[in-house]
Amino acid sequence: MPNVKLLDCTLRDGGYVNDWRWGFASARALIRTLPRAGTDIVEVGFLRNVEQYDPDVTVCNTIEELNRLLPDNPGHTMYSGMAMRSNYDIAKLSEYSGKGIEMIRITAHDYDIKEGMDFAREVKARGYKLSINPINIMGYSDRDILWILDQVNAILPYQFSIVDTFGSMRRRDLERIVSLVDHNLDPSIRVGLHLHENMALSFCLAQEFIDKHLLRDTTVDASLMGMGRIPGNLPIELVADYMNEVLGDHYDIDELMDAIQDYIAPMKGETQWGYTPAYFLSARFNLHRDYAEHYLAKGDLTNRDINHILSVFDRSKATAYDPAYADRLYAEYQGRRVDDAAALEQLKSTFAGKQVLVLAPGATLADPATQARVAALRGQEDGADLVVSANFVPDFLTPDYAFFTNSKRLDKMGAFPCPAILTSNLRPEQPPEHCTVVGYDRLAGAFAQGSNSVVMLLRLLALCGAKAVLLAGADGYTEGKPAYADTSLHTHTDRGPAFHAAMAQAIRACGLDVTFVTPSAYQQA
């Protein structure tokens, strides 16, 4: 009778969350807990070309290094590792010894799938059970899938896996692809399913797959608590419970709960994974998730913006992440061209020869004493002639202008107490009553890491002939501390010394005499 096996990939796929730095003792403990739960196959890590062996990391050069994690008596559990054709030298793989890792799962992209098949043959020739896992099955046409299946049938591996790399699979896709595979794959080859959680459909799809009761052996991949690079994987505890209910299996949910509580849940508080709208959008267009991460890191795009940018992607760029191409589309989207010559002339007449107090929304401006000190700079001898705020309007003084580059910040605004300067990427439904629009392109080149309102404002003031700038609230980012006076704003915890140095350089490049009047990491960088 055909059976369904459960494969845990926490130590391999979950490792994207913690850079595979589990710690040797913790990895060994997990590898012992999962078999106690009845897990049929445990994937212990990656085979990759790495500089040196690190026992605390589940990415290794050789099978012998990965085998050090395994118990002496594997019981009924099979252990596996994964190797990608493009980043592993197959010459490093020794022949299967009859012990330790028994199965090697190989993977390849659409652009090197032919070489991937040769890679697969090499693995099988070394005596391992072989699983062929082409990346992004959703990126292939039916004709392409049939070609792949022909190659797989000629190799006769232990398993062929349907891998929804970008999490874009829906129920109708599962139905089509499983039917195509099942009707054209040699009946001796089991079929695996590997799902991601971009659309919050992994458990639904896994149930659908299990309920098909195919007349061949199958495998379902999952990880503890769905741990995996955002947006994560199918949670093993959910599918194990379902298999207990509908197939009469006996996976021990208590053991899975213990493993989650002891090893996985603590990491969830430090590093997030799971469904987010941006990763849904990358799946919607079947694109590499790095693109969603790329645009999220810009910090100035709404989910609506990301949706619009991803919708025009060239399909040839879908599988292999191309940051230069992503930046080009970002610039095109943001740089909606306007004729701003008249606007600039107007602003030049306002700012030329003036000392300007620039207010950024940093946490230092939440302090009442600092607010009073900064507000007193307006009108003082050698103080500020004009005040401009960047992507917010302070409540402790009314600026002469509010400068906005960020649609998320602009959308939060109600009535404007002062004239506004907007960059051309913004398209508010109700523009401020007194509003000047300047070209985004003209200002955005000031900072290579994406638009930054302070840098763009400084560049605008330089273009308008301002004499000098007093800069307040441009704090920078410190891990564990709020970055903004408004605590509802997202703090970019991944920004540290490198970002601060880039900001410092960009501020200097604006060519203005800038004096920091509140503490700033950019001043120290």
| Tens-digit pLDDT profile for residues 111-127 | 999 999 999 999 999 99
List Cα–Cα distances, 440 to 172, 336, 378, 456, in angstroms: 42, 7, 28, 9
Average model confidence (pLDDT) for the chain? 91
Domain boundaries, the chain: 4-270, 286-334, 341-524
Q: Please state the φ and ψ torsions of residue 160, each to the nearest 5 degrees.
A: -120, 130
Global confidence as pTM: 0.72
Q: What is the pLDDT of residue 502?
A: 87
Q: What percentage of the chain has pLDDT greater than the value 90?
A: 72
Q: What is the pLDDT of residue 14?
A: 95
Which residue do the tokens 């602009």 mark?
A: 410
Q: What is the pLDDT of residue 111?
A: 93
The DSSP H or E segment spanning 194 is: strand 190-194
Q: What is the pLDDT of residue 336?
A: 66
Q: Which residue has the higher pLDDT, 48 or 409?
A: 48
| Tens-digit pLDDT profile for residues 449-489 | 556 889 999 999 999 999 999 999 999 888 778 878 777 77
- With beta carbons less than 8 A apart as the criterion, state whether 85 and 107 touch: yes
Its sign, for the CA torsion 44, 47, 53, 54, is negative
- With beta carbons less than 8 A apart as the criterion, state whether 464 and 401 touch: no
The mean pLDDT of 21-32, rounded to a whole number, is: 96
What CATH number belongs to 4-270?
3.20.20.70
Q: How far apart are CA 146 and CA 150, in angstroms?
A: 6
Q: Which tokens hold the place of 142?
A: 């039916």
- Helix H, strand E, coil C: the string for 45-114 is EEECCCCCCCCCECEECCHHHHHCCCCCCCCCCEEEEEEEHHHCCHHHCCCCCCCCCCEEEEECCHHHHH
Q: Collect all residues with Cβ–Cβ distance below 8 Å to 409 and sequence separation of at least 6.
A: 391, 392, 489
| Tens-digit pLDDT profile for residues 166-200 | 999 999 999 999 999 999 999 999 999 999 999 99
Q: What is the pLDDT of residue 470?
A: 96
What is the DSSP code (8-state) at residue 226?
G
Neighbours of 70 (CB within 10 A): 18
Among 132-136, 213-217, 277-281, 490-494, which is the least confidently predicted range? 490-494
List Cα–Cα distances, 337 to 20, 295, 310, 513, in angstroms: 45, 21, 20, 29
Residue 257 has pLDDT above 90, yes or no: yes
Q: How far apart are CA 401 and CA 392, in angstroms?
A: 10
The mean pLDDT of 16-23, rounded to a whole number, is: 95
The mean pLDDT of 200-224, rounded to a whole number, is: 97
Q: What is the pLDDT of residue 316?
A: 92
Q: What is the pLDDT of residue 424?
A: 86
Which residue do the tokens 């190797």 mark?
A: 83
Q: What is the pLDDT of residue 448?
A: 54
